[in-house]
Amino acid sequence: MPTAANRVATFGTTIFTEINDLAARHRAINLGQGKPDFDGPSAVVAAAVRALQSGQHNQYAPGPGLPALKQGIATHAAAHYNLDIDPDAGVIITAGATEAVFASVLGLVDPGDEVIVIEPFFDSYVPNIIMANARPVYVPLHPPDWTFDPDELRQAFSARTRALILNTPHNPTGRVFTLEEMILIAELCIEYDVTVIADEVYEHLVFDSARHIPMAALPGMFERTVTIGSLGKSFSVTGWKVGWVYGCPELVAGAARAHQFITFAVNHPAQEAAAFALSLPGTYFEELQAMYAAKRALIMQGLTAAGLKARAPEGTYFVMADFSDVFDGDDIEFAQHLTEKIGVACIPPSPFYSPEHAHIARKQARFAFCKSDDLLKQAGEKLAKLRGQPV
């Protein structure tokens, strides 16, 4: 009997699909997946409609990406981070950041290499490493501050380490790594000659005094870093799946070679609209931050009033909360209870840890606040039912 490959034998259904199904079955307010329930800017959507109707953009885009979009990404990196990116050889456009990470792992890591992953991790990283026949090495973040232990980080490095995947601002914890943390990671990567795959899809979602520091901007890091971005996150169009990889041409060339044979080229009209989106004035990002700061305040209020110990995120549109004062079970049981009995869906974070570290997240839940203010208020009212229930 033909069977599926061993390569995918350990891959279960992603927790996002499981929670989405559970939420739909129980008609729960879904604060699970990081998917805005509002539309992207109307001018950007209109640009996509124009591109579709122009008759010029309904065939294959150039494989490495639309030149105007690649230029837009280089201009954005110069304006925001003072990075000098070659728009031709230093950028490729991918099917979302998901493909960007996969193409980077396949193009920059060899079979048998070790890749350091910070836990909790975005769920595609480890399957990507496994599909590249490489080995993940885990460094956990610890609650309540979600910081790594510098000794645990140091111990993860060896002569076998080829790459480290760094996500900042960090999903699911909402951490924005500090300059001190970034420098420690950078110094170790230089010492062990390691490539950084920097997943910075939430670069524009930072709050208060937090500042996003791109890994590629640190001394000695440009030549060993590829940076990944996503149109979906910065412009609330996650369904378009437009992402990118940029950095020094030698490394981008590795990702580009893999990209040619994964998707070859990305949705052409969406790339046209993406180029338009990146040409919006810088005030667009300030308005986005202000909108999300207000949503963060709403979710924090709802979670705190319900008796959860929520940590205000410095970035992203996720908040992690400790539920141990209101529920006596693990994170999977809590997510089920919350969805079925309270009517609010959240994501249990233990699947984002390796089995040996999953206990770290056993009393935590992740809530996404990329939702309308109304929905966040309704969720707060439902969450209030947690108070006064027997623990």
Ligand X SMILES: Cc1ncc(COP(=O)(O)O)c(C=O)c1O
Where do contacts with ligand X occur on this chain (CB under 6 A)? Answer: 34, 96-98, 122, 167, 171, 199, 201, 230, 232, 238, 241, 243
Structure tokens at 270: 């969406």
User: With respect to ligand X, which residue has the nearer C-beta, 230 or 364?
Assistant: 230
Give min distance, CB of 230 to ligand X, in A: 3
Give min distance, CB of 285 to ligand X, in A: 17
User: With respect to ligand X, which residue has the nearer C-beta, 71 or 98?
Assistant: 98
CA distances in angstroms from 129 to 98, 107, 198, 348, listed in the order given: 13, 11, 15, 22
* Cβ-Cβ contacts under 8 Å for 132 (sequence gap 6 or more): 105, 106, 109, 111
Amino acid sitting at position 378: Q
Are 365 and 324 contacting, i.e. CB atoms less than 8 angstroms apart?
no
Give min distance, CB of 110 to ligand X, in A: 23
User: With respect to ligand X, which residue has the nearer C-beta, 66 or 326?
Assistant: 66
**Helices 67-81 + 268-278 axis angle, to 10:** 30
Cis peptide before 172 (omega within 30 of 0): yes
The DSSP-derived string for 134-183 is: -EEEEEEEETTTTEE-HHHHHHH--TTEEEEEEESSPTTT-----HHHHH
User: With respect to ligand X, which residue has the nearer C-beta, 101 or 326?
Assistant: 101
User: With respect to ligand X, which residue has the nearer C-beta, 122 or 323?
Assistant: 122
Consecutive H or E run containing 94? strand 91-94
Q: In the complex, which residue's CB is closest to ligand X?
A: 96
Give min distance, CB of 240 to ligand X, in A: 9
Give min distance, CB of 64 to ligand X, in A: 17
Q: What angle do CA 86, 91, 92 make, to 5 degrees?
A: 155
Give min distance, CB of 124 to ligand X, in A: 7
How many angstroms separate the CA atoms of 377 and 93, rounded? 37
User: With respect to ligand X, which residue has the nearer C-beta, 77 or 368?
Assistant: 368
